[in-house]
Structure 1
């Protein structure tokens, strides 16, 4: 890994990938095909892009049973425990409807209502992600969403990974379809003969999935435009070089475009971590992917002061931030921008990926400046409730009408005054 200074941040920061013109056009064509040809288009693109020739899209009960039998019972127990941790964390996020009655009889409030139907995209490709099932489905379950639909690209054999199906079953998803890519997003947004449309689409995917979500936004809601995974480790001289390197590589193995960055004031740590990354990289099964990520998007930022290091972190606004320092809680208050913050030596990022409970669907590409992790609020909507009493109306009618005329909206003013006329 290259050791750089804060002045080289431009080469480290990521922005939201808008794709190429060709990619955008391809996505629009796929969406249009799904809208016009429906299931026929889904079968066509699944065969063309995933190499799978399917006779039906929906996962059957038999496939769920086979997946359960294929997994070791210890693995199933771990999945169940992780699901309980994740569910428990998100239950603390539940919002209640509320109403406030004033002395004049006016009632104001907020009604919280779960979304009717949500689509969850679970990526396939180079790895299987039962954790993505839990992180996207369980907050929706906790929120009270009635219908949760899962889509995921099948293998060439026309199957989904056993861990993904078992995780879906544990989470309570009954409606799972073997379809991925932009075509799956289009099906969720607009519906086909097999898949009824949903109100919101969540879950990460490749650039075509991201562009498709952007394209259908407005007809349905989406969670975010997810980019490649990112980690920043903020460390001092007390950090263990081997552990820092291992954590950086844990993100690098996700994708060739993943970003892994160490920010430190310790030159000795910086050099030791660079050596450790090279050594550990050679031992990884996905070393080609991780190596490309480290080469193109990895860096060690050497800073002159702790304050300068924190400024670098806030400037990057990383998806994952590990604080591996002697007093990590002492630094926490200075961190303004990060999707998830891991404190101390034993809070390695995979703890959050799989087991601790907080959501691992996080803002990427610097969007942690204004975005939050996926949470229960993403699966509900809030309606304002207004009951104006006669007393409140009489006290405020003239002021409201005058306000309306201030904006040049005479019909608004007359709508208020009409009630006064009808009383006389």
Structure 2
């Protein structure tokens, strides 16, 4: 018997309550506690010694000794000039679509008026300064530059800095630099890993000036995630992200070639990537296994993909019917959710947990990674049950403005004093009554 490419989990005739499903769905096991312990001393060192410490860690981990950490303007211009025309065109289209979606998401101030002319205005203000991390590692990520920069710009963030690991020449990958130049970001730093996160959080002024940021966004490995978790509170972060994941709900109408191709495309990212298929059709599950044997053997990163598909974080989940499949999707709360079913729009209305939903045969996750207009920085590890994709809102902070004239305060004065008395905070009530001639 041929060995299956993916583990099969049989959920048929099983309870569908939230507790059971959460414990049984395949999930990457991520524990960054060791990484947090490892990066803690480094972060403290960079906080105390600044640029000098960053340079030392850059030599240790990236094996380069750049003359400067900040990328010169000439290098950005040269990278853009040397960009292949087809790549430039693809990035331009990606930017155009991402900007169209981001600008449509910008929130306007809203004012609510009460008796006596009192108003409360909710306004949305951009974060002052943002550090955007673009990883290196197994691939090159100019698309991550776009996905982070475009919504920040749409939100009106006045100061943006990018950090990305240096290559052998001491500079980040030229396509990353070209993407930054295309977007008008001229502050780019040749810094990778946890040292980049620490530098963004604390800044430095020894030899070069890096102003600390208010918010750090962007994906990375376990050490980047650990560093972000460690500096959270000093600065804001988008998320502590886990390995990437896809969950596909497919019925008898699904094409097993498409299903297999999408599972492989996600597994290509990392041996820890999660690829999950949910179906009530045992024959489809077998057909997908057959397709995987062919497609995995033919793909460029065969070993990486094979390890990801065979891992405990991946699998084919057999369910009784479509309703059960939807229950599994909502319990999984996946980063990428594909609906390859007869009526994907109707099913989408019932999927309440998912970073981004991709509907039908011609909306693969790969489209969202690059050129759909959606953002590919998404919640992982089930956090889509309560968190959102990176977007304009990620770079905005809500603030409310209260403007009550005397008559408006008078209309609620008694309510304030009653509640203040109930909570045993009498000075709160006095702060209102004194405005109407009451004793202090």
Where 2:171 maps in the other structure, the secondary structure is: coil
Matching residue of 1:287: 302
- Correspondent of 1:405 among 417, 421, 431: 421
Where 2:437 maps in the other structure, the secondary structure is: helix
* Distance in 2 between residues matched to 1:89 and 1:230, nearest whole Å: 23
* Distance in 2 between residues matched to 1:343 and 1:123, nearest whole Å: 29
Matching residue of 2:27: 14
Matching residue of 1:251: 266
Matching residue of 2:125: 113
* Distance in 1 between residues matched to 2:192 and 2:364, nearest whole Å: 31
Q: Which range moved further: 234-243 or 68-77?
A: 68-77
* Distance in 2 between residues matched to 1:258 and 1:388, nearest whole Å: 54
Matching residue of 2:179: 167
What is the count of residue pairs matched by the alignment?
423
Any gaps of 5 or more consecutive residues in structure 2? 1-5, 15-19
Where 1:282 maps in the other structure, the secondary structure is: helix
Matching residue of 2:17: none
Matching residue of 2:47: 35
The alpha-carbon deviation at position 47 of structure 1 amounts to 0.6
The residue correspondences of 1:192-341 to structure 2 (distance < 5 A) are 192-193=204-205, 194-296=209-311, 297-341=313-357
* Distance in 1 between residues matched to 2:274 and 2:415, nearest whole Å: 56
Matching residue of 1:183: 195
* Distance in 2 between residues matched to 1:103 and 1:308, nearest whole Å: 50
Where 1:279 maps in the other structure, the secondary structure is: helix
Does the CA contact (< 8 Å) of 1:18 and 1:211 recur in 2? no
Matching residue of 1:343: 359
Does the CA contact (< 8 Å) of 1:13 and 1:365 recur in 2? no
Matching residue of 1:3: 8
* Distance in 2 between residues matched to 1:72 and 1:156, nearest whole Å: 21
Please identify runs of 4+ aligned residues in structure 1 that moved more than 6 A. Answer: none
The alpha-carbon deviation at position 383 of structure 1 amounts to 1.1
Where 2:117 maps in the other structure, the secondary structure is: coil
Does the CA contact (< 8 Å) of 2:115 and 2:408 recur in 1? no
The residue correspondences of 1:44-83 to structure 2 (distance < 5 A) are 44-83=56-95
* Distance in 2 between residues matched to 1:408 and 1:327, nearest whole Å: 57
* Distance in 2 between residues matched to 1:100 and 1:339, nearest whole Å: 32
Alignment deviations for residues 78-113 of structure 1 (CA, whole Å, 9 cap, x no partner): 111110000001111110112233351212211221
The alpha-carbon deviation at position 324 of structure 1 amounts to 0.8
